[in-house]
Structure formats: C-alpha cells, structure tokens
Amino acid sequence: MPFELETAAHPESLRRVAIEPVSRVEGHGKVTLLLDDNNKVHQVRLHIVEFRGFEKFIEGRPYWEVPVMVQRLCGICPVSHHLAASKAMDQIVGATLTPTAEKIRRLMHYGQILQSHALHFFHLSSPDLLFGFGSDVATRNIVGVVAAAPEIAKKGVLLRKYGQEVIRMTSGKRVHGTGSIPGGVNKSLHAEERAALQKDIYQIVAWSRDAVQMIKGLFAQNLAAYNAFGRFDAHNMCLVRADGAMDLYHGGLRARRSDGSTLFDHFDYDHYWDVITEDVKSWSYMKFPYFNAMGNSDDGWYRVGPLTRVTQCDFIPTPLADREREEFLAFDGGNAAGATLGYHWARMIEMLHAAEAIKDLLHDDDICGSDLMAAGKRQERGVGVIEAPRGTLIHHYRVDENDQVIRANLIVSTTHNNQAMNEAIRVVARQYLDGQELTEGLLNHIEVAIRCFDPCLSCATHALGQMPLEVEIVGVGGTVLDRMMRNGDGRCARPEPQ
C-alpha cells in the first residue's frame, strides 16, 4: 500500500498549507499540505509535534508507582494507562487476579469507555455530524449543540457523568485515581455505591441505545457521502476473547489483512514484538507501527479502535450491542462498516456494550468482595495490553532486582492509528481540497477525518497542547501568501497578508 501523497517529488516548487493545531482532538498536532499553483494536492501529513517523555522519566521509579504515574499523561482516558500499567505489573509480581479485583478493574474500564466515547461523540464530533462539516464555525461546537439540540447535549453530559462516577467509585477519583495496583485493587464497591450506580444504569443503557440510533439515522440520511468520506482499506488489529468475542479488558491479539484474511489470531501479547515493530519518520514525533510479517511500515500499517473491534470480533457478549453490531455490518451491504465515518457508529455500539457490561457487573456480588490482592513469583518483565477507548494500548516494562523500572515502552492507540489517520486525510484532501480555494469549512473536512479516530495526541506523545488553529499558505519563495487563524473560542479571522 504505497502512500502517494506522503512525500511530494519536488516539494520546493509547491506551496505549503498548515492546519496547526488540529482542533477538537485531545492533544496537539498539525496537518501540512503541499499544493501546486492549481491547488492540486501533492503531499499531506499529520504531524504530531508534542514531546514524548514518560518512557524515559519513569526509569528508576519503583514499579508500584508506575500505574499511578503513567496515567498522568492523559486526562481523557487515564484509566486505560492505569489499567494497562497495572496489568504489566501484575506480571511483574506474578499475580493472577482474584475475581473481585478483575471485576472491579473491568467495571472501572467500562466506565472509562462509556465516558470517553460519550465525550468524543457528543462534545467533539456531534457538531460536525449535526450541522455539517462545512457549516458555520460559530455554531459548529458543543455550545451550538446545546442551543440547537439541548436534549442530545444533555444526554451526552449525563452519560459522561455516569461513566466518571463508575470510575470514581472504583478508583477513588473521577480522574487519576489509584484503585488499580500491582496484583489487584485497593478497594471494592461498598453496598451504597453499588446501589447508587444500579439506580441509574437502566437509563444509561437506554440513552446509549438512543445514541446508536442517532448515528445510524445520520448515516441513513447522508449515505453516499458518509460511505465515501475518507474511505480507505486497511489491515486491522484488536484484542479478542478466547471465543472470539469482543473483550476490551483482556484477550489475545487478532490481526486481519485488508482483504479479511487472518494474519495472526489469539496471539499472546507477552511477545508483541514478534508481530509488531515501530518505525520512525523524520517529520513526526509519533512512531509508525507495522506488522512484522508485512516487512515494513509502508505495507504493514494497520488500524485499531472501535471500527476495528466491532468489525473484527466474532460477536459482542452483550445482547443489545451485538444486535446493533449485526445491523451495522449488514447496513447498506456492509459499506458503512468500511467507512471511516463508521468509527462513530462503532463507537456508539461500544458505548452501548460498556453500559450493558456495567449493568451486568453491578448485579455480580463479586464487586463487593474483600479478596482484593494476589501475588506470585516475581518476574523481570511485564507486558500489559488493553483495548482503550481509542484502540489497542500496549505497556511494556522491565524491572530490576531493586524494584526499579529500567526500561519502558508504550505503544498507544493513536500511535497504531498514525498511518491510518494520514491515509484518511490524504483521501479527504483528494476528495474535497484538490483544485479548491482554501476555506475554513474545507479544512474542517480534514479535521473531521482525524476526529473519526478520536486521536489522543497527548497520549501518543505524552504531553498536552492548546487547541487553536492556524493555517498558512506559503509561496514557493517562502513568502506567506495567505493566513487564517481560528482562536480557542472557534472564531476564524483572516489577518492582513504579511
């Protein structure tokens, strides 16, 4: 799979357009486009410009500190890092979790999936979907959604709130708790906490079903455009349970080629490096992972996340979500399941699955148990893999005999999706920007494609950034020919040409 728009043959003769930073995503990144005099696109790149530091500065820290420390690289889905690190440290202490510990962690994780998916769909993406990708930027935001569709906005806020309550009760805090520790958890649910969550869970399941219907309806209304938008073929990778079911907390790795054939299945992630390698490119701080079997990152890149998980699992082990999965796969002859915008639909199916899984766990007495910790034979190496809201998340540590971390490698969901996001924006650039005059609405199409993946650029590079947008057209001689700025409040302005 060559990247025809990754590197232009003669960049010196082209003008450069930069979308910097990309907005309504977590973290800080930019997109650059190289155009010729006829506005034909010759090069498109998503650059991640944040600095990646966590892997280095946790060296020397005690292993039990890691699950608490590494989650600080993100405020949106810290639970994912908290749990992936904990799973790695479970291996370090040689523990097999007690039923209570595993179920509390799962509850925490499903709360995380629920709140993160709700945040992304309602707060970040629904303005594009409800108002149109090129609609008035003044209202294309969550405040506009509140004004135009207050019931939808309210559901988004309350779904997220519920997920955060689940996290608070299992980890101690809504953001950056300490509940999961090497070998188990430090608390289970109290009876009153369980009752409080049980009280609202049926409403949460109902609202999650409504959200699936909402994105389904949007697809039906805009079928041709949604199916075609940023569409590309990709290999896929996700965790699946031993019986092939979707399992967001634990499983073996499944990888399928873009033609649907299996590359590996139920692969033990303890040796993930036997199937995945990280490539680097000079123009991005984010690495480019690829399947070893495909030889290089040009051919072996792949996609992770909700669209992959929903389409590649054999079934979803909760009934309502599985019914929606079947409908999604069959919709329009299967076209929606291959569409980049299908990420949103798959994300809402997963949110429904998370709500159903929370409901089931809340009726399991183990979540109030007192057997919280386990231990076994100490190991030097630990690998923890989890399906985070944005996709497969790998944490890998080596710990010395003094209990200090001596090596760490994190491959986060957004890193797996690096090439896929680049491919999506190249397709969109060809579809919508080729030969067109630059407008904010057209540039937003690029960002809409990026948002499908719900990227967390902070996680991928382990820092946080601001969200304004600046676009420049630079002439062949380096002169800035045109410039547009979008402020943090979403307003666009075209300053005087420099």
Partner 1 sequence: MSEQNIFLLDGEEIAFAPGQTIMQAAQSAHKYIPHLCWHPEFKPHGSCKLCTVKINGRFGSSCTVEAAAGQNVENRTAELDDKRRTLLQLLFVEGNHFCPSCEKSGDCLLQATAYEMGMMTPHFDHFYPDRPVDASHPDVMLDFNRCILCSLCVQASELADKKNVFVMGGRGMRGRKIILNSESGKLGDTDFSVDDRAASICPVGVILKKRVGFVVPYGERTYDKAPVSAVEAAK
CB of 87 to partner 1, least distance (A): 16
Conformational region of residue 65, where left means phi above 0, alpha means psi within -120 to 50, and beta covers everything else: alpha
Residue closer to partner 1 by CB (options 173, 381) is 173
CB of 76 to partner 1, least distance (A): 16
Whole-number Å distance between alpha carbons of 283 and 179: 38
Whole-number Å distance between alpha carbons of 95 and 87: 9
Question: What is the enclosing helix (H) or strand (E) of 319?
Answer: helix 319-330
> Does residue 177 interact with partner 1 by CB under 8 A?
yes
Q: Which residues of 237-255 are buried (b: 16+ CB within 10 A; e: fewer)?
A: bbbbbeebebbbbbbbbbb
> Does residue 181 interact with partner 1 by CB under 8 A?
yes
> Does residue 382 interact with partner 1 by CB under 8 A?
no
Whole-number Å distance between alpha carbons of 167 and 110: 9
62, 217, 295, 319: which one binds partner 1 (CB under 8 A): 62
Non-local (6+) Cβ contacts of 199 within 8 A are none
- In degrees rounded to 5, what are phi and psi of residue 289? -70, 150
6, 36, 39, 64: which one binds partner 1 (CB under 8 A): 64
> Does residue 409 interact with partner 1 by CB under 8 A?
no
> Does residue 174 interact with partner 1 by CB under 8 A?
no
21, 144, 163, 179: which one binds partner 1 (CB under 8 A): 179
1, 36, 40, 61: which one binds partner 1 (CB under 8 A): 61
> Does residue 178 interact with partner 1 by CB under 8 A?
yes
38, 282, 402, 498: which one binds partner 1 (CB under 8 A): 402
Whole-number Å distance between alpha carbons of 328 and 100: 34
Q: Binding-site residue total for partner 1 (CB under 8 A)?
A: 25
> Does residue 187 interact with partner 1 by CB under 8 A?
yes
Residue closer to partner 1 by CB (options 154, 173) is 173
> Does residue 370 interact with partner 1 by CB under 8 A?
no
Burial of 60 (0-12, 13-18, 19+ CB in 10 A): exposed
Whole-number Å distance between alpha carbons of 84 and 350: 19
CB of 59 to partner 1, least distance (A): 11
Question: CB count, 10 Å around CB of 403?
Answer: 13
> Does residue 376 interact with partner 1 by CB under 8 A?
no
> Does residue 379 interact with partner 1 by CB under 8 A?
no
Whole-number Å distance between alpha carbons of 91 and 464: 30
CB of 384 to partner 1, least distance (A): 16
Structure tokens at 287: 């690495």
Site for partner 1 in 66-95 (CB under 8 A): 67-69, 72, 93
> Does residue 265 interact with partner 1 by CB under 8 A?
no
60, 99, 475, 488: which one binds partner 1 (CB under 8 A): 60
Residue closer to partner 1 by CB (options 399, 456) is 399
Contact region for partner 1 (CB under 8 A) — 15-23, 322-330, 340-348, 396-404? Answer: 396-404
Contact region for partner 1 (CB under 8 A) — 116-124, 182-190, 355-363, 442-450? Answer: 182-190
3 state SS for 31-47:
EEEEECCCCCEEEEEEE
Q: Which amino acid is at 167?
A: I
Cα–Cα distance list, 107 to 110, 263, 362, 495 (Å): 5, 31, 8, 50
Whole-number Å distance between alpha carbons of 422 and 234: 12
Residue closer to partner 1 by CB (options 93, 248) is 93
Residue closer to partner 1 by CB (options 147, 406) is 406
- In degrees rounded to 5, what are phi and psi of residue 451? -65, -25
Q: Which amino acid is at 208?
A: S
CB of 70 to partner 1, least distance (A): 9
Residue closer to partner 1 by CB (options 62, 435) is 62
Contact region for partner 1 (CB under 8 A) — 9-17, 59-67, 280-288, 355-363? Answer: 59-67
Question: CB count, 10 Å around CB of 270?
Answer: 15
CB of 370 to partner 1, least distance (A): 13
Report helix, strand or coil for 219. helix
Residue closer to partner 1 by CB (options 186, 409) is 186
> Does residue 53 interact with partner 1 by CB under 8 A?
no
Contact region for partner 1 (CB under 8 A) — 149-157, 171-179, 308-316, 362-370? Answer: 171-179
Whole-number Å distance between alpha carbons of 245 and 312: 9
Site for partner 1 in 293-352 (CB under 8 A): none
Residues that bind partner 1 (CB under 8 A): 60-62, 64-65, 67-69, 72, 93, 171-173, 176-179, 181-182, 186-187, 373, 402-404
